[in-house]
Amino acid sequence: MTPKQIARKLERSIDNWNFQKAIDFSNNETKTRDYLIEPFFKILGFNEMDDYAHEFTIKFPDGNLKYLDMAITLSGKQPSILVECKKANTNLLSSHYQQLSSYYKYHKESKIGILTNGIQYKFYARSLKDKNILHENSFFEFDITDFTLSDLEELAAFYRPSIDLNSIIEDAEETYFLESFDEALFKTLYKPKKELIKLVYDNMGGKRLTDKISDSIFDLINSISYEQAIEKIRRAEAKDSKSGVITTAKELKSLDIIKTIVAMTSKINNKEIDRIGYKDYKGQFKIIVDNMPSKEICHIVIKDSKKYISINNKEYQIEFVSAKEITKHRRQLVDSAIKHLKK
């Protein structure tokens, strides 16, 4: 089954589930697990007898034994997915994440951590900085009371008959990698290293970089944001063009994110990535191949009233332009890119 077919199947199952009544019954953690969490995993195709255990014991270095609410074994001896359950409607806090991460740290065989109150599900994978702990950000979140078909297509990766943990982890690490880009860029510009200062000076046509010039460039880099710099360049381009359309920093950011998403698939080589560009129109920003609008990977609309990404004539709402938001539609973007790049 394709992710879309699985998503439709999951949608029908959730629609037929009286989860609101289950929420009403879930007045403690045990009942939340019994009335909400277990039925949720059953919808995903998991079998209680073969796939998971309750109150799984984890031994900590000090000798103490801690009990995890649920451990999914996927028919193996050791759990691959750790599930920390909280009472229905409990706000899922950073302290709950810390609890889940501590279980993960001392159970080396685990791959994924899930924090849930039976309604919201937060999925975590290992940190890129420290493989022994979970990343502080979830790579995917699902709410049984508020979801889209796109969310269901992402959830389809956890459908028991076709689950592939290695693929899930790879996707999660791609998400974390893209999320860290903005932070890394800010740190690079906020405290630029000598190499960056020298590169800027070289591009200015400078010959000899003195301490005084270096300090001046340092101050200038700190005084201007990346978005302001890009905006200035694009306004200059728009002034030279006949259309008068100004390409914004957010639009260019979306292009960079999408090119990175596409570049990280093994089905496309780096030379093909260079064929991806954009065409900016009033009202929408098209990401295209070979500078041909007919080869549209997607287009993005960013307005105060609405923000969405359209892929193959299907609109997906986004809250803001970020790696996390756009990566939700990674599969659709990659499929669309491959279709046009391989023509």
pLDDT at 23: 92
Radius of gyration of the chain (CA): 24
pLDDT at 245: 66
Element (DSSP H or E) covering residue 288:
strand 284-289
pLDDT at 47: 85
Reported pTM: 0.67
pLDDT at 56: 83
pLDDT at 170: 86
Q: Chunked in runs of 10, what are the mean pLDDT values of the chain (343 residues)? A: 89 92 91 93 88 82 84 79 92 91 86 94 89 88 87 91 90 80 68 78 78 76 58 56 66 85 79 87 88 92 83 86 82 89 80
CA distances from 228 to 151, 221, 301, 302 (A): 34, 11, 20, 18
Rounded to an integer, what distance in angstroms lies between the CA atom of residue 77 and that of residue 120? 28
Q: Which residues, in sequence order, are CB contacts of 10 under 8 Å at separation 6+?
A: 43, 44, 152, 155, 156, 159
Question: For 143, phi and psi rounded to 5 degrees?
Answer: -125, 120
Domains and CATH numbers, the chain: 3-164 (3.90.1570.30), 226-343 (no CATH)
pLDDT at 218: 75
